[in-house]
A and B are shown apart, each in its own frame.
Chain A
């Protein structure tokens, strides 16, 4: 079984780490002090041994016998009772030894590194010094006799060890005391040191949906460890607040729109009941109510569409694909009645920026076919499109070109490119077909609604390619009044209406561009809008540009 490791608090971990380091260093101190004390005390001990051995050597005296021998005079020796000694002449003759020792004899080894050795006598550790000295007997008489004498002197070491041990014990006890004292001290210091962190946490915990106020203390901002955290909290809160307020604004706006729509229906109905009316009046009133209900219905449908487009993530569903060119054709077909009604011409134009998308020309013929349908319906269009530049596919006037050449856009695309084309699939986009239709329809509808009678809406489709990614660039341009510069940043806002009185009368819900943006964003593309509201400029009108990644 595997138990989850309970993460300890940072303070606890820091305290343990510091105490461990302290323990380690106190052990080191104890070991070092042991070595040092031993060295010092044994040096003193050795000096003492030398002194005692020297005094033993001093006790070796002339024996006053004819052979000029030497003897050990033990009477004057003042030696601690535990010490042992032994004196030899170099030849091996024993001169004397202490009473409490049998002696090691002359065999006490001469160590190469010194004159000391260890041994155990009577159950005690002894340190033995073997010292060689010389004694001259009767130096005044015929030069005297020189006797080489070996003194072996030993003394028990337990006193030394006792001193060393007590010194080491002192150091150890000091270290433990230090550990005991520093543990709580560090805990207290850490507690104090982490105070800004706790303050930050308590400040951050006070942030709620109703109060987004988060003002970190200046100390937290200037502390190097806390600054990134503070910054992160601040920016997260800002983003959260922004999106929350946006959401709240949306709910409030949606409520306003819905309530207004309901108020319209309710007041229409109540108006009917206010007094007795004729059958025709009731009829007209009911028709108005029906129209009002349909407006409410489309508002609800748009809100649901927006919610769907914004909520579902692209990863959930299997990648749907849509052919953009087919989608455009469909949208144009759907809206050709409205275009005719408003007396607006729709021009389809295709450019190829990369040279890769040569297959578009084949699809382009499809566009032309649809387009001719448009021009046939709008009977008075044919004369108007003649003033256009030759790059544009003016459907009504160039119709004959296509019927003759039959190869689509060959007059407008480099012939070398289109010759190599082999009926490819067109432009496949990672969008669901209904979303793509909605996107193109919304944009085209907007353009048509904002176009004055007799003007042109241009749909331009291009493919931009680099090494990794091909992008479809769809531009829909109208020549209407344009959007004032101050309104331009808000056009994608939900329920935003550039000119309320106009769009209310055209029946827009103010959600079309929001839905379009949500669809494009979900497909990984971008949408932008440019507008020239100044009627004195030649290119007056609005251009919506949609960039969408093409599936390979």
Chain B
């Protein structure tokens, strides 16, 4: 079997610095096409050549990086076909009869039928399928797929409830990631009334180091297993294949950061397609921060009135401009809320209906999914839709600006900032001429009224800044091909680069005016509705050639934890300090999104209501990287105790991870303890370490507790034989495990025997008669923490 691969080719992540691959020559990049390929890769891995799965390359974390071999499930360069099939072999091929009956009953009158108590549908797909691909397929539905679950339910039960259109219950803010990549790292949206994406997973099919593969499915005793084990075994074969029905194992595998192995496929629960109403209003952080800890505040409970009554709010995002306003006392923020709407309540799209919907044309569908181009695209291994994953974000005015997103902003053409620079230029000119601040102008937002007139003292410097801005605007108009990051760094250098305090103060004033205008352009108030994915996936896919250089971290807190407001306030003070002290600044944002509790053991959303604070910056602007690094350091400080997103900048050490998820040396319990136990179960207690990486070893996402096994007497002492032989087999342990034998005779001392092999025997010679205590100890030290396991035998020497 030949698996497509590349050697010594560059490997990089989507948001890394352009032109500077993270690895100019990755040792090996594999492009598997099937489950058999994955098994082959895991089975034939040469010793010392570890593996790691890569999806869309969207992660900013070191967690995405392999020690040696990258396994691509969806080639970002589209040179090799993706592992992107929607699978029918298990759903419906291996579903249990009990489950099918239950599914049928769930849609009968009385069991469901309201908008809230919805029927569920289940989709099984390979791990290289991207989010926008799956939401497009779900929207089209399975009525035309002869071997689908929907058609089976129609044929078997006469139940047509599953023939319609389906959607994700929640999503993050973009659809370019693979579904499995997004859920494996704990990606989430801002839907505070439901758990994140990972919790929609009901089964995972994972191939581990060595080639064994596991079907891991929920094990709720109150509900029938989804699949029929006999059918699974008949389909996949019993050799090197194991079926596990266990919630705990599934909750460990939902978010495993690639450490367990490579996910071949997943089944997720989806819900009937729906619409979303979105509203964005401008406010200030200082006005709303006192309300974020209160679930009854108007941030969370603003109803939306429809013809059918009030709809409860489901989503909240607060996007903060880190650049201060009002003389440094306030920070603008955009507050975005969403409400669920029935599909029928959505406005009609401006574009013609798609070619597969029978004329039904909700806003966002033709713009974000489009026509069916082919039923089976050989590169996607799935249907191809004309607009899925290649358009700007949906808006009513086609601006494509639906929310502030540094990644998108970084790809923006610099044209729009020329208009902002010109507006600020006019405002400053007016101030110099008349000593007046135009209400509603760029300067008005960043100054405050007060006694005295210190601003007037800056006029000589403002005159110089005018000249700088005029030259910059002319240069931008002449060149026109710079990215926003490049332009903003030029602006920063020109405004803040002068160390003279008054000159810098004048520059900061103007920088703040520009930043305010940029922020307001990205967070323009709006109120509109569209189909679910068009509202949730706001990503701009049009600039395929865009290379960005972004730093980003996301920090999670209990929404009731006062540390979260302090964290944001401290970051905002850091920005003010770096402007005045160093002439640095951030071009980015701080975004708070709220979500429900995850069941994933090392999910970042362990609280009843979690807030995720994303701090994102363009690295091209001097100060952005420092801003994000400060956020990381502050989050990791034990007095703040934020949890870092696995898929973004994450420098957590083992001790820091244990401080948050448990299983420290002193307290070996908590969710991380359970997660490590599952890792132990799948990897022969860590012996199979092919998916270990520098990141997982540093963060302690490893088996940390060795196990003693097979310890016993192989040759017993007797009256004539004055020695005994003990044997053991501790081979199923992580590399680095060491074994020693402590011998405690009834009197006197026998030195401990250190450095024993993991599998071996040792002869203990009698020194005195009596009962000897023999203790075999396996010991493992990781990141300075040592844990041991031991077994003790009592042997009588006559």
Do chains A and B interact in one complex?
no
Please report A residues at the B interface, Cβ cutoff 8 Å. none
Chain B residues with CB under 8 Å of chain A are none
